[in-house]
Amino acid sequence: MSDTRLLAAVSSVPRLTGDGNNIRHRGLRDGSAIMADLFDALGMEGRIFVANMGTVTTPITFLVTAANRPDAWIRVPSNTAILPILVNVSLEAAAGTDTEIDVRAANNDIGNGTSSAADIGPLSTRNDGPVTSACTARQLATGDTTAETTPRSLYRYEFSVAEGTSSDFHVDVPRSLMGYPCLVGPATWEVFIAATSTQAVGYVVMTWAEIPSSMIV
């Protein structure tokens, strides 16, 4: 009679750092052998994080478009990789013409420049926070960050409202619309939001999964 066993692992998950090696099937502590969705599994580990730019009823005023001055960004250090999951932009007021949202990635850590820490986060979406993020969340670069290396847009959105009016507006950018990015540090995930005249006021929520880069490199 065969005796099949698997490795029960939820929080402290063993990982190999190279290819071509054997590892036991992973399961839950009740012995369930399941094929968990990657992001559900990472969420159970506490490896999904969120950062808020603007919070509760206090929005931020987004900046005039300028090179090296994003409105929201996640700094990914060496030895860390992230899988961006969602960008949520909610505008409380948008009176300017031609407001643009540009979600970008760069192959370097652009640093802080002259900016503020994100209002909230990075915090694990697992409430007891068993894993601490290695990333840094920043907002509103009023002074230049380091220039981007190999910058590219992952998603763009543009809309216009009549000058002198306001409009409630939000856009959700899921992972699929960003092209399923994987950013191996050092790297940066960033958002620019700007109008040609009056700047919008609102909130940004950035959600990502974070793993040691040795998992994939």
Please give the pLDDT value at position 217: 86
Report the DSSP pairing between strands 7-8 and 26-27. parallel
Average pLDDT over all residues of the chain: 87
Lowest-confidence region among 4-13, 31-40, 109-118, 147-156:
4-13
Report percent pLDDT > 90 for the chain.
62
Tens-place pLDDT, residues 52-72? 999 998 999 999 888 899 999
Report percent pLDDT > 70 for the chain.
80
Please give the pLDDT value at position 33: 64
* Confidence band of 164 (pLDDT split at 50, 70, 90): very low
* Confidence band of 7 (pLDDT split at 50, 70, 90): low
Tens-place pLDDT, residues 14-49? 665 666 666 666 666 666 666 668 899 899 889 999
Q: What predicted TM-score, i.e. pTM, was given to this entire model?
A: 0.85
Tens-place pLDDT, residues 65-107? 888 999 999 999 999 999 999 999 998 887 777 889 999 999 9
**139, 116 contact by CB (below 8 A):** yes
Q: Is the peptide bond before 186 cis (omega within 30 degrees of 0)?
A: yes
DSSP characters for 122-137? Answer: EEESSTT--S----EE
